[in-house]
Structure 1
């Protein structure tokens, strides 16, 4: 169900107010569970749990490294590798070749099926599209290049430019600086409610992708943040 669009439009200001759409990458455009899904037969019935815990630890390590200061910063690939090592130890996965295969698969995550057409529709409508991600430049280049999405993206923005992970305010300011637009003329799209809340607090117009139909968090619905079950209807919504 789509929430009210009032925060995105103003009758007193004719013309397009939104000039760019900035997307989170992991979990929003790229399916973070597609790496394990490709090799689920090797993990058996616990594959889904394994993948979810890998993702949880990956984010946990990014937050802890941000909170403990610049001296503890390592890029998102290091967080991804460390998280996988932890989860493999938990599930007694010790085949080095298989672990390397999972990491290779994570570098080349699959986009959600509606994403390519959605990005083409945004471009046809004259909107700029960018990605603002925890991912390192290498991770983003590999994933979007492999998926064939790079030509539809005007900028792949990594937190490595500021040396701290989301939800630090400096990350969201990076989108304004690189696109040359104020936050109010950018729609920020994320499947992570904590990410959406942080962007909203930074002044962006936001949209939450809620693929799992999860409950509202952080008061996003009450704040007028629209929600979609996937990205197929985004271009039409922005019109």
Structure 2
């Protein structure tokens, strides 16, 4: 079946999750030597907390998960202060999009393809990120797990695409920078592309992504 719809994970896929700590370090020399490990720990705990909450059923908005993960990362790196925490959280709402994103979305639209986001992010977080990046007009929908109350890779999250976009799984190319997410979506029935920017090994899971890319530039060629 022909691909009609491209659905993107948001954080780490369209939006650079390291941008918040990096931009904070630009304004605070004290962060110059630690912003990168701080960002890595923040992201790792954010994902771990989302998985654990999906397993236990203790769902909270991704905004809270993100704050909890930041608190852990700041403590690990000996950082304190409400002002710094607030600054980092504010910056997470306006993450930089990767540079190839606007042109890639334009290429999809030029081929008559539909584009959407499917994310763990809270609706207010996603709205802010999409607006800041200036890509809202290129997206048909921005779907949040808050509609089903569980984080990816729960199948009910991937169900949102068919429910909201009216397409069969075989008509969807799902794109994520998270190998586990791309694998989960492949197991669900989507065609999938893993954007492996860091050159990581393939996750050992029941399903595997159909394509592995180093960035988003060639997404339109897969449709």
Same fold, TM-score > 0.5, yes or no:
yes
1:156 matched to 2:131? The reply is: no
Gapped regions of structure 1 (runs ≥ 5)? 1-12
1:225 matched to 2:213? The reply is: no
Q: Distance in 2 between matches of 1:215 and 1:63?
A: 20
Look up the match of 2:119: 133
Look up the match of 1:28: 13
What aligned pairs does 1:64-103 form with structure 2 within 5 A after superposition? 64-69=52-57, 72-103=58-89
Offset, 1:237 = 3.3
Offset, 1:95 = 2.1
Look up the match of 2:106: 120
CA spacing shift, 1:130–1:114, aligned 2, 3 Å = same
CA spacing shift, 1:184–1:56, aligned 2, 3 Å = same
The runs of 4+ residues in structure 1 deviating greater than 6 Å are none
User: Alpha carbon RMSD of aligned pairs, Å?
Assistant: 1.5
Q: Distance in 2 between matches of 1:42 and 1:230?
A: 31
1:215 matched to 2:201? The reply is: yes
Aligned residues: 220
2:30 to 42, 48, 53: 42
Offset, 1:223 = 5.2
Offset, 1:216 = 2.0
* Higher Cα radius of gyration: 1
Give the SS at the match of 1:232.
coil
Gapped regions of structure 2 (runs ≥ 5)? none
Moved more, 24-33 or 211-220: 211-220
Moved more, 162-171 or 223-232: 223-232
Give the SS at the match of 1:45.
coil
Look up the match of 1:63: 51
Look up the match of 2:192: 206
Q: Distance in 1 between matches of 2:103 and 2:21?
A: 25
Q: Distance in 1 between matches of 2:30 and 2:141?
A: 36
